A and B are shown apart, each in its own frame.
Chain A
Amino acid sequence: GQNIDQPTEMTATEGAIVQINCTYQTSGFNGLFWYQQHAGEAPTFLSYNVLDGLEEKGRFSSFLSRSKGYSYLLLKELQMKDSASYLCAGMDSNYQLIWGAGTKLIIKP
Chain B
Amino acid sequence: DGGITQSPKYLFRKEGQNVTLSCEQNLNHDAMYWYRQDPGQGLRLIYYSQIVNDFQKGDIAEGYSVSREKKESFPLTVTSAQKNPTAFYLCASSKGGEIDTQYFGPGTRLTVL
Listed in ascending order, the chain A residues whose CB lies under 8 Å from chain B are 4, 8, 30-31, 33, 40-45, 48, 50, 87, 89, 91, 95-102
Are B42 and A87 within 8 A (Cβ)? yes
- Range of interface residues on chain B? 20 to 34
Besides A41-B106, A43-B43, A97-B43, 15 other A-B contacts (C-beta < 8 A)? A4-B42, A33-B101, A40-B88, A42-B4, A42-B104, A42-B105, A44-B104, A45-B102, A87-B42, A87-B43, A89-B42, A89-B43, A95-B98, A96-B45, A97-B102
- Number of interchain pairs (Cβ within 8 Å): 48
Residues of B within 8 A of A (CB): 4, 40-45, 58, 88, 90, 98-107, 109
In the complex, are the beta carbons of A43 and B99 less than 8 A apart?
A: no
User: Which residues of the other chain, B, contact A4 by a CB distance below 8 angstroms?
Assistant: 42
Closest to A45 in B: B101
Residue pair A42, B107 in contact (C-beta under 8 Å): yes
Question: Given the complex of chains A and B, what is the CA–CA distance between A58 and B15 in angstroms?
Answer: 48
| In the bound complex, CA of A36 to CA of B100 (Å) | 17
